[in-house]
Every structure is written in structure tokens, then in C-alpha cells.
Amino acid sequence: DIQMTQSPSTLSASVGDRVTITCRASQSVSDLLAWYQQKPGKAPKLLIYRASSLNSGVPSRFSGSGSGTEFTLTISSLQPDDFATYYCQQFNTFSLTFGGGSKVEIK
């Protein structure tokens, strides 16, 4: 299986900050990488697919980039609603794998 590694595991930031989360794959997944946001007690929400395509209804402050084995999720100006845990997921193979998560906390 392809292993997905996210960093950092926890990030402390303030409203208005630019935030970047990294996801690395153990082998190339091309651009077949998605990002999800999850708030406590809630189901995850799809933010980005194909590494950089914004899902419908997702604010434009979210962006994704990368290909191959290294990907980033960027929040250009952190808003109060963005404090959550973020997960990457590769869909290059039929054995789907998620990263371990990156929690964005209030500084």
C-alpha cells in the first residue's frame, strides 16, 4: 500500500495567518490526491481533489498544489471556521490510503 505522511501533525496559528500543510506519498500518485477537513464530532468534508481542484462550495482561500510524491494544502488567510483537522488521501490505486492528519489549532 502507498503510505501517506502529513506534516506537521499539529500546527498553532492565528486568524489571518497563511497556513501550509504538507503530504508526502511513499511512491508517486501523480495528481490523484485529495484533501478533507474534519471538525470535532463531524464527518469529513471534501476540500480539494486532483491535487489542486477546489470542490464545489469551498472558499477560495483554500488551495492545493503538488504532484508525484509531495503535495501541499494552503489556507491563504486563516478564518475562525478553519480550525480543524485536515487529511490527505491518495486515489491512485484501489487500496485507498489517508494521511495521519494535521490539526490546526488556535494560537
Partner 1 sequence: EVQLAESGGGLVQPGGSLRLSCAASGFTFNSHALGWVRQAPGKGLEWVSVISIRGDSTYYADSVKGRVTISRDNSKTTFYLQMNGLRAEDTAVYYCVKELVGVGGSYVFDYWGQGTLVTVSS
Binding site for partner 1 (CB under 8 A): 1, 30, 32, 34, 36, 38, 43-46, 49-50, 53, 55, 87, 89, 91-101
Q: What is the rounded CA–CA span in Å between residue 107 and residue 104?
A: 9
Smallest separation (angstroms) from partner 1 to the CB of 89: 7
Contact present, 74 and 63 (Cβ < 8 Å)? yes
Q: What is the rounded CA–CA span in Å between residue 86 and residue 102?
A: 5
Closer to partner 1 by Cβ: residue 34 or 75:
34
Closer to partner 1 by Cβ: residue 18 or 39:
39
